Amino acid sequence: MASNLIMLVFLIATCSIVLASDPSPLQDFCVADHSGPVLVNGFACKDAKLAQATDFFFSGLHLPGNTSNPVGSKVTPVNVAQIPGLNTLGISLARADFAPWGVNPPHTHPRATEILTVIEGTLEVGFVTSNPENRLITKVLQKGDVFVFPVNLVHYQRNVGTGNAVVIAALSSQNPGVITVANAVFGSKPAIANDLLAKSFQTDTKTIDWIQSKF
């Protein structure tokens, strides 16, 4: 009985590891049918015979993003929404542009690890470990440097140089998702109760109302 229980625990742990990333493809490719009526975990495949080169193609990553916004950055994603041929392949890409002192605010990717390389500029990056340590691991990167953000950990980037900065990031999911902490907490719809947030952040409801008004 004990041996059976141990085996069951092992199988559950193994399955959890296997299911922690995008499922492996069972054919050469599965071009996403974005307009199809079938709802699955990911996207249903369109007929492989109808696949075209454009299903595996994206143009424009050389173009700078518009950083004229409150945070001074712009992310250009290249995931399954832009390239249908990424469906089931477990990988995607993004470009991020930063004005001087622009930030990509603290956020997480719930379904992906991220590996980032600096193409231009000087960037401060960091991520925070999970509770209870909440340890900040941070480094300043120069052109050509590479940094990894582990899956689902809160992380950020900030341009600390005098000019613009550009990075290219690869992510281990066709659809990594993004949860920007401030947007989720202060900009949810409907809003999280201000007294709950005031207690959580150890401040007053007036301060919370002011922050929520920004989102």
Residue 114 is labelled as binding a ligand:
yes
Q: Is 104 annotated as a binding residue?
A: yes
Q: Are 87 and 45 in contact (CB under 8 A)?
A: yes
Cα separation of 112 and 43, whole Å? 17
Q: Phi and psi dihedrals of 114, rounded to 5?
A: -120, 135
Q: On the CB side of 131, how many CA atoms lie within 13 Å of its CA?
A: 0
Encoded tokens for 93: 């890409």
Return the amino acid letter for 123. L
Phi and psi at residue 152, to the nearest 5°: 70, 5
d(CA 8, CA 15): 11
* Residue 155, marked binder: yes
Q: Is 109 annotated as a binding residue?
A: yes
133 is in an annotated binding site: no
Partners of 73 in the β-ladder = 98
Residue closest to 58 by CA, chosen among 26, 34, 81: 81
For residue 151, give the nearest of 173, 184, 182 by alpha carbon: 173
Cα distance between residue 159 and residue 99, in whole Å: 7
Q: Residues at the annotated binding site?
A: 104, 107, 109, 114, 155
Q: Residues at the annotated binding site for oxalate?
A: 104, 109, 114
Q: Residues at the annotated binding site for Mn(2+)?
A: 107, 109, 114, 155
